[in-house]
Amino acid sequence: MKRLLILITVPFLFFSCAQVQDAVNPAPKKFVAKTERFGNFTFVVPANFKLKEEASLIYKKGNDVRAYLVYAGSGSVAKISKFLDENLSKLGWKKSSELIGPAAVLVYKRNGQALVIKVERILAGTYIKILLTCA
């Protein structure tokens, strides 16, 4: 009987973690754009997302920057993808490709620069991973 209870309880706990995360750290109804600047790269992320410096890697040489940035926050993959489409275009970024499913991979280009963005939801929250590189 104990095994049956464990077999029923463990999947319930596993699949409800995302719901618990939403209750503890709810996503805003509307995202607010926060402008980020690294060298000559300017882009936006939702204001409720914070840079995780310990997971990011930044290379600087003068004004030349290449980086892998990790932001953590809360929100759905679809809403964040839509937010990025709307706000990056205002800064002159043009989407060159996208792949959207349980996670999203978006590529934007502008003036010889490229942003490769992955948005994914993990049990601990939502992550936006951005690669700043050359087009």
- Residue 2 phi, psi (nearest 5): -65, -40
Threshold 0.85, pTM exceeds = no
Cα 113 to Cα 65: distance, rounded to the nearest angstrom: 11
For 90-118, write each residue's pLDDT tens digit. 999 999 999 999 999 999 999 999 999 99
Cα 82 to Cα 79: distance, rounded to the nearest angstrom: 5
Cα 25 to Cα 6: distance, rounded to the nearest angstrom: 28
Structural domains of the chain, ranges and CATH numbers in brackets: 27-134 (3.30.310)
Check whether 66 has a pLDDT greater than 60: yes
Check whether 62 has a pLDDT greater than 90: no
For 13-59, write each residue's pLDDT tens digit. 444 444 444 444 566 678 999 999 998 999 999 999 999 999 999 99
C-alpha pair distances (Å), 54 with each of 60, 69, 120 = 17, 10, 18
